A = this chain, B = another copy of it.
Amino acid sequence: MVDRVVPDVIVSRLPVYLRALQFMQMQAVTTTSSQDLGSKVNISAAQIRKDLSQFGEFGKQGTGYNVEALIAHLEKILQVEKVWDVAVIGMGDMGHALTRYGGFLNRGFRITDCFDNDPAKIGSQAGQYIIKDVADIGKGDCLRGKMVMLCVPAAAAQKIANKLVECGVKAILNYAPVHLSVPADVRVQYIDPVIGLQRMAYYLHEKNE
């Protein structure tokens, strides 16, 4: 295995494999194959084998893959065997839903800090968190970690993103429905349900109801 750079498209599939494997593990499945895993994520078996071969040889001929071992490998590759600190910015409906969500910890993340700019919210309790002032980001060790989930209105998102970049944030999960301009060393992933709906609407036939 040379130290060649792994294509983005492959990296982006790994979390999908990992999620499916963890689902199998929950059901006490101990072994799988590229065929089996592929059928569960709608990806060809050859594709899965090629993808995994970028990182090593994790399977055994005739048998397939040990679920637990492959999970461990993928977690290592994705760097989610540790737990990353993530901040939530914008404690409206979405921010609150995220802080109440229990699905982060066993997949490599935990929310450590929450921010807002609404004086009525700053200082108040949200579950186990005390909402901090977004203006304090950058002051002291207010913002732990390098990852942020951004849940502010679209109009405020770019401005805050700029500030986050200044403060060393390297990964932004952006819920605001706008594109963010950031330096090349900062990653952004977008979550916009409307984009998802529109991608599907293209394929709908006939009338609405």
- A: residues with CB less than 8 A from B are 11-12, 14-16, 18-20, 23, 40-42, 77-80, 82-86, 93-94, 96-98, 100-101, 103-104, 107-109, 144-147, 149, 154, 170-171, 173, 177-179, 181, 187, 189-205, 208-209
Distance in angstroms between the alpha carbons of A5 and B98 in the assembled complex: 39
Residues on B with C-beta less than 8 A from A145 are 208-209
Q: A78-B201, A187-B203, A198-B18 are in contact. Are A98 and B193 (CB under 8 A)?
A: yes
Residues on B with C-beta less than 8 A from A107 are 194, 198
Contact at A197–B103, with CB atoms within 8 Å? no
Contact at A204–B79, with CB atoms within 8 Å? yes
Residues on B with C-beta less than 8 A from A147 are 197, 200-201, 204
Chain B nearest CB: distance from A130 CB in Å? 18
7 sample A-B contacts, Cβ–Cβ < 8 Å, listed by A number: A15-B199, A16-B195, A80-B198, A85-B209, A146-B204, A170-B205, A189-B199
Partner of A173, one of B16, B103, B197: B197
Partner of A197, one of B20, B23, B108, B199: B108
Distance in angstroms between the alpha carbons of A44 and B40 in the assembled complex: 34
Distance in angstroms between the alpha carbons of A208 and B83 in the assembled complex: 8
Contact at A178–B80, with CB atoms within 8 Å? no
Distance in angstroms between the alpha carbons of A14 and B199 in the assembled complex: 8
Residues on B with C-beta less than 8 A from A97 are 93-94, 96-97
Residues on B with C-beta less than 8 A from A196 are 173, 189-191
Distance in angstroms between the alpha carbons of A85 and B14 in the assembled complex: 34
Using A19-B178, A40-B179, A108-B198 as known contacts, list a sample of 13 further A-B pairs with CB atoms less than 8 Å apart, ordered by residue number in A.
A16-B195, A18-B198, A23-B154, A78-B202, A84-B201, A86-B197, A104-B197, A107-B198, A108-B197, A147-B201, A170-B205, A189-B199, A189-B200
